[in-house]
Amino acid sequence: MSRFYITTPIYYVNDAPHIGHAYTTVTADAVARWHRLLGDDTLLLTGTDEHGLKVQRAAEENGVTPIEQADVTSKRFRDVWDEIDVAYDQFIRTTESRHHHAVQELLTRAKDNGYIEKGSYAGYYCVSCEAYYTESDLVDGNCPVHERPVEWFEEENYFFKLSALEDELTDWLNSNTVFPDGKRNEALGIVKLGLEDVSITRTSIDWGVQVPWDDDHVFYVWYDALINYATAAGFGSDEAEFDKWWPEAHHIIGKDILRFHCVYWPAMLIAAGLQPPKEIHVHGFLLLGGKKLSKTGLTQIAPADLVADFGVDGFRYHFLRDVSFGPDSEFSYEGMVARYNSDLANTLGNLLSRVTTVVAKKCDGIGPAPQLDSPLAAVAAESYRTAADAWARVQPSVALEAIWNLLRETNAYLEQHEPWKLPEGSDEVKTVLGNALEVLRLAAILSSPALTRAGEAIWAAIGLEGSPLDQRLPDAAAWGGYPGGLSVTKGQPLFPRLKVDNGS
18 included as an active-site residue: yes
Phi, psi (deg, nearest 5) at residue 4: -145, 120
| Identified catalytic residue from 21, 217, 251, 283 | 21
Is 129 in the active site? yes
Query: How far is residue 238's CA from residue 90's CA, in Å, rounded to a whole number?
Result: 15
Distance between CA atoms of residues 11 and 290, nearest Å: 23
3-state secondary structure 330-363: ECCHHHHHHHHHHHHHHHHHHHHHHHHHHHHHHC
Among the listed residues 474, 397, 411, the one whose alpha carbon sits nearest the alpha carbon of residue 439? 411
**262 belongs to the catalytic site:** no
Residue 392 is classified by DSSP as H
Are the C-beta atoms of residues 49 and 94 closer than 8 Å to each other? yes
* Catalytic-role residue among 35, 100, 129, 251: 129
Q: Which of 35, 51, 143, 318 is catalytic?
A: 143
3-state helix, strand, coil in the chain (%, to 5): 50, 15, 35
Give the separation between CA 195 and CA 260, rounded to whole angstroms: 12
* Phi then psi dihedrals of residue 125, to 5 deg: -135, 130
Q: Which of 35, 51, 126, 281 is catalytic?
A: 126
Tell me phi and psi for residue 285, to 5 degrees. -90, 150
* Known catalytic residue at 283: no
User: Residue 70's CB: how many other CB atoms inside 10 A?
Assistant: 25
Exactly one of 51, 183, 281, 292 is catalytic; name it: 292
Asked about 143 being catalytic, the answer comes back as: yes
Q: Nearest CA to 44 among 59, 58, 32?
A: 32
DSSP 193: T
Report helix angle 66-83 to 53-62, nearest 10. 100
111, 261, 281, 295: the active-site residue = 295
In the annotation, is 126 catalytic?
Answer: yes
Rounded Cα distance, 258 and 182, in Å: 12
292 is catalytic: yes
183 is known as an active-site residue: no
Angle, vertex CA 258, rays to CA 255 and CA 263, nearest 5? 170
Non-local (6+) Cβ contacts of 323 within 8 A are 23, 283, 286, 329, 397
Q: Which of 35, 99, 100, 146 is catalytic?
A: 146
Helix (H) or strand (E) holding 120: strand 116-126
Query: Quick one: angle between helices 166-173 and 181-192, nearest 10?
Result: 170
Q: DSSP letter for 177, please.
A: -
Whether 310 and 334 have beta carbons less than 8 Å apart is answered as no
Just list the catalytic residues.
18, 21, 126, 129, 143, 146, 292, 295
